[in-house]
Amino acid sequence: MTNTNLLNIAKNAMKKSYCPYSGFRVGAALLCEDDIVFTGCNIENGAYSPSNCAERTAFFKAISEGYTKFEKIAIVGGHNGKFQNFCYPCGVCLQVMNEFCDSDFLIILIDENNNIIEKKLNCFLPFGFNL
């Protein structure tokens, strides 16, 4: 699965975002072993704290379906679905990745000029907490 394909899947997932409070749509596409992809979008809540990020939606869908080997994730996001800057994953999502992924798990991001970042998880979170 190429990064471009995975980013396109993430862009489609972004359309499903439920974000009436922030207006910030995020989509994620998580590549598991055997070329299986799980998508995710952010899902907000009027009580705010029950909201879930797109990345964690994708991870929790995959894990709850029995997929636990992960290669890479593509993430896109922006106000009203127009992505401009890279949508870096938040610290909570990085910690979830730290729980389930090796340090060479790849995070792929794109900006409005089609610049692509592909970096390892340990670049974003070099000292993740582990029990």
Give dist(CA 73, CA 109) in Å, integer.
9
Query: Residue 78, interface with ligand THU (CB under 6 A)?
Result: no
Which of helix, strand or coil describes residue 83?
Answer: coil
Residue 18, amino acid: Y
Q: Of 24, 60, 100, 124, which lies in the binding site for ligand THU, with binding defined by CB under 6 A?
A: 24
Which of helix, strand or coil describes residue 22?
Answer: coil
- Interaction pattern, residues 35-54, with ligand THU; x per rule: CB under 6 A: -------x-x------x-xx
Helix (H) or strand (E) holding 25: strand 24-32
Query: Residue 22, interface with ligand THU (CB under 6 A)?
Result: yes
Which is closer to ligand THU, CB of 11 or CB of 44?
A: 44
**Catalytic residue set:** 55
